[in-house]
Chain A
Amino acid sequence: MSCQDFKRVVEELADGRLMDAAARDAGLGHAAVCVACAARLMEARGIGAGLRVAARAETEEAPARVRESLLAAFAERHGGVLEERKREEALPANVVALPSRRAARWWFAAAAAAAVILLSLTLSSLVRVSTDGPRPKPQELSQAQPLPTQAPAEAKVEKPGILVGGDVARQGSSKKAAARTPRAARSFKHEARAESAAAVAQTNGNEYFPLTYLAGATAMESGTVVRVELSRTALISLGVPVQPDRPEETLKADVVLGDDGVARAIRLVR
């Protein structure tokens, strides 16, 4: 064995580690005849022994406060799970554990979200624009007639209390609409969503009154009808003809709201 080869095995020899028996014998044989390598071996044994002493002195541990804080963090993290498990274990087999308060909150939130979605879907289906029959172009609608306070008798009401703007607006352009070609009518289905909200209908003898700030005749694709209670004073200020006596008395009214949230028309509920 050369001195270079000896350097490769000197630690194993010094520490007495498991190694190839032939290499061990060759190494020890070399150290017996090479003074430098013998000194190297002695030195390695000394370092190895010093490291072993240092290893035996390795007794430090993390302070107790680390343990406490970790266990507290663990309890906080898993506390809910453990409590629920213990509660379930404590119940008889034929009793079903109720969901925890946290779970109940989640269920409540989910149910509320579902209800809101359902409500919005219902409303949107109620106020969707009727697509049957030809309709006037939006340009025609933009040249809208002054807001009628009396709708024609044939004005269509899809559902009680719901204003169908397209049908109402048709009253001013029915002649043009009648002359419209089927193709034009089809194309209109895509473009004629803009309905004049200023056009209002009369339903069951109840008139919709356009709100006074609608002079610009803003277009409305669709809208919703909201039932409200307003004082007589407020109704008068909106242009609804009611008796001015008992000003504090409230009356029910339907308000047509556009998609932009602006009220377009109002009528009394009788």
Chain B
Amino acid sequence: MLGGCAESFAALYDRRQGGVYRFALRMTGSEAFAEDVTQDVFLALMREGGRFDPSRGSVRSYLYGMARHRVLRRLERERAHVPFEDEGGAFEELPGAADDPFADLAREELVGLVRQAVLSLPTHFREVIVLCHLQEMNYAEAAEVVSCPVGTVRSRLARAREMLTGKLRALRGPSVGERVIKAGQAI
């Protein structure tokens, strides 16, 4: 690819763009930004692909690392300009939250609620949840992406899941959180 082979570049893009795009999407909740990040990451790969060092990790981790860098920069910028939203307020508009409390949640609703809850986590906890659970990376790969020891990933993940449980429980009352958890158990 670095030698100018367009087919190699296209193959690499086709294989990795989805993960990079979804990582940025889950981290920011913005499709437009995820699109920008994806484009930016592969442009950077085109320009600076020579910097990739296989001894330091896989291409996948390298791409996710670049995406993470851009995402964090964006989140940092937004934090400086947007007032922090009340944690409970983030769930006010969630679909189905006030509907029949006894009906089982549809799969789409469950997915939507989990994504919303993930988005409300602090960045460091959100990224390990996204990488290890939604992108299904193992701890070592996630550690390469976030540039920290595996033990840190593990402890952050445990803490993130605790927070996630709390977020889902707080979802407009404990009953909805219970439903999410029960729906997850039932699936």
Q: Which residues of A contact B (CB under 8 A)?
A: 7-8, 10-11, 42-55, 57-63, 66-67, 69-71, 73-75, 77-78, 81-82, 85
Contacts and interface: CB of A to CB of B under 8 A. Distances in A.
A243 B182 CA distance: 116
Interface in B74-103: none
Interface residues of B, number: 49
A62 B110 contact: no
Contact of B22 (A10, A42, A60): A60
B100 to A, nearest CB: 20
B50 to A, nearest CB: 13
B170 interface: no
Contacts, number: 126
A51 B129 contact: yes
B94 to A, nearest CB: 14
Interface string B1-42: 001101001100110011011100110000100110011001
A71 B4 contact: no
Contact of B17 (A11, A50, A53, A67): A67
Contact of A66 (B17, B22, B164): B17
B25 to A, nearest CB: 6
B73 interface: no
Interface of B is mostly: helix
B160 to A, nearest CB: 10
B43 A70 contact: yes
B38 A66 contact: yes
B161 A50 contact: no
A37 to B, nearest CB: 14
Contacts of A57: 107-108, 111
Contacts of B185: 42, 45-46, 49
6 contacts: A47-B168, A48-B133, A53-B110, A54-B115, A62-B34, A66-B39
B133 A62 contact: no
A11 B3 CA distance: 45
Contacts of B115: 54
A119 B10 CA distance: 52
A50 B181 contact: yes
A52 B107 CA distance: 11
A74 B6 contact: yes
Contacts of A62: 17-18, 20-21, 34-35, 38-39
B38 A74 contact: no
Contacts of B66: none
